[in-house]
Amino acid sequence: MAVHLFGTPCKMDEVLALGKLYDIPVIEDAADALASTYKGKKVGTLGKLGIISFNGNKIITTSAGGLLISDDVDLIAKAKHLSNQARNLRPHYVHDAVGYNYMMSNILAGIGLGQFDVLDDRLAKRRAIFNTYKTELAGIEEIEFVEDVQGAVSNRWLSTALIHSGVTRDNLYDELAKCNIESRPVWNPMHMQPPYEMFPYYGNDMAATLFEKGICLPSGSNMSDAQLEYVVSCIKQILSKKLV
């Protein structure tokens, strides 16, 4: 599984090489990464299968649901079948496997398609927000913005940052809330979620470290310049106090 978290493409060459070495098909979780690219190609199209989310908080939304991508027509046909309760064509409701109700209604699909007309504007806005944070907060040692890996261009769905010494991520989160600004810790790693935490974990604690230090800053496509300026000035003030 290759995950392009927060819209930022992961190192696909390395993941695909590992997949090839061990003969494991690569599935791309591009839930956040609509229109992000890796070496000139859209992420979600590089593995055996890819998914993109159209959940309510995404750049384009159908309120829930998403998109499955593959050049393997048989896999797509199978997924479509399972997503429609595995009903076969007979009129008396025969389900030839255990299926799921994952079909997107035509109304929601229409709402989603209509938004593709404004996708470029929304991408430009998200990227401009990230660049503003990066430029305005440059030189403040407590906050670090992670650059794209080589050859990657993120859609900057969410502007994320790592918070270092002097201030903790939770300090910043709490202080922003006092300024009436909603932020959010980066996602809690899967191996630390209650249903999985009793299982063995293989890794170097990178995900746990990112979770401890990472924060998602306000990034909505409809943020006004004044709102962005306000968020930037609050972050500057909070970090200058060096809370511990």
Ligand X SMILES: Cc1ncc(COP(=O)(O)O)c(C=O)c1O
Residues that bind ligand X (CB under 6 A): 3, 5, 29, 31-32, 53, 55, 66
For ligand X, which is the closer residue by CB, 153 or 158? 158
Tokens of 53: 């989310």
- In degrees to the nearest 10, what's the CA dihedral of 10, 14, 17, 18? -90
**Closest distance to ligand X from the beta carbon of 147 (Å):** 19
**Closest distance to ligand X from the beta carbon of 57 (Å):** 7
Position with the least CB separation from ligand X: 53
For ligand X, which is the closer residue by CB, 56 or 91? 56
For ligand X, which is the closer residue by CB, 154 or 171? 154
DSSP 151-191: TEE---SSEEEEE-TTS-HHHHHHHHHHTT---EEPPPPGG
- 52 touches 70 (CB < 8 A): no
CA distances to 42, 97, 218, 221, 244 from 158, rounded to whole Å, are 18, 38, 7, 10, 26
Tokens of 87: 């009903």
**Closest distance to ligand X from the beta carbon of 154 (Å):** 13
**Closest distance to ligand X from the beta carbon of 5 (Å):** 5
For ligand X, which is the closer residue by CB, 27 or 234? 27
For ligand X, which is the closer residue by CB, 55 or 209? 55
**Closest distance to ligand X from the beta carbon of 157 (Å):** 9
Q: CA-to-CA distance for 133 and 217, rounded, in angstroms?
A: 9
